[in-house]
Amino acid sequence: MKLITKSYILLLVIALSSTVKAQSNFEKQGAQAWMKGDFRTAVVQLEKAEAKDPSNVNVLKMLGYSYYQTGDFENAIAAYTRLIAQKPADYSAYYYRGKARLNIANSPKEALNQMRENFYTAAIKDFSKAMELSGEEDIQILQNRGVAYKDYGIFKSYKSKKNAEKNACIALFNNSISDFQKILTMQPLKKDVISLIDYVKAQIASLK
C-alpha cells in the first residue's frame, strides 16, 4: 500500500473515530465496509449517508475513494468535486480526482472518447494543485503527473504531423521527464522511474 493511501486511510480513521457518536447508521455501516475493503457495500451505504447529509466531508472522502476502488471513475470525480467544494484545501481530493481523470483518459468509454484531451489536461491540473496544497514535492504526485504528461504526449503524437504539433508533444514529454528527474533526486535508484525516463526519451526521438 502506497504512502499517500496509508496517510489517507489513517486520517479518515482518526476523523471517523472522533465523530462516531454523530454518525448516522448509513455512515457507520459504510465506514465499516470501507475499512474492511468492501468498497461496493461501502458505496451503497455511503450514497444513502450523503443523501441525508450532503455536507459531510468524511462521507464524501470515503465515497469518492470507494467509487475509485470499484472502477467507477466518473462518480469518483463527481464525489471528489463535491468534496473540494466543501473542503478546497484537501490535497488528497485533487490527487484522487486526478487519478480518476487519468484512468478515464487512458481507457475512455465510447461516449467519452472525444473528451480524452480534456481529461488529460484536467488530470495534470489536479496533480499540480495537489502538489501546491501538499506544500512539498511529493513523489507519488510527481510520478502520477509525470505519467499524465507522458500519456497525454503519446495521445497527441498519434495525430501530430506538422512541426508545431510535434513540438507540442515534445514539450509534454519534457515536462514528464522533469517530474521523473525530480523523483530521482530524492530516490536515485528508483528503477521504474529510470525506465519511464528512457521510454519517454525514445518517444521524443521518434518524433524527430
pLDDT in tens, 159-189: 877 888 899 999 999 999 999 999 999 999 9
Judged against a pLDDT cut of 80, whether residue 1 lies above it is answered with no
Assign 14 a pLDDT band (cuts: 50, 70, 90).
Answer: very low
pLDDT over 70 percentage in the chain: 89
Q: Are 92 and 60 in contact (CB under 8 A)?
A: no
- Domains along the sequence of the chain with CATH: 1-119 (1.25.40.10), 137-208 (1.20.58)
- pLDDT at position 174, please? 98
Please count the CA atoms within 13 angstroms of the CA of 63 that sit on its side-chain side.
28
Cα–chain-centroid distance for residue 27? 24
pLDDT digits (tens, 9 = 90+) for 80-129: 999 999 999 999 999 999 999 999 999 988 888 889 999 999 999 999 99
* CA–CA distance, 76 with 63 (Å, rounded to integer): 8
138 to each of 7, 31, 121, 168, how far by Cα in Å? Answer: 13, 28, 20, 26
Highest mean pLDDT among 1-5, 148-152, 159-163: 148-152
- Higher per-residue confidence, 200 vs 3: 200
Q: Is the pTM of this model over 0.95?
A: no
List b or e across 138-160, with b for residues whose CB sees 16 or more CB atoms inside 10 angstroms.
bbbbbbbbbbbbbbbbbbbbeeb
Query: Which of 12-16, 45-49, 70-74 is predicted least confidently?
Result: 12-16
- pLDDT at position 6, please? 53
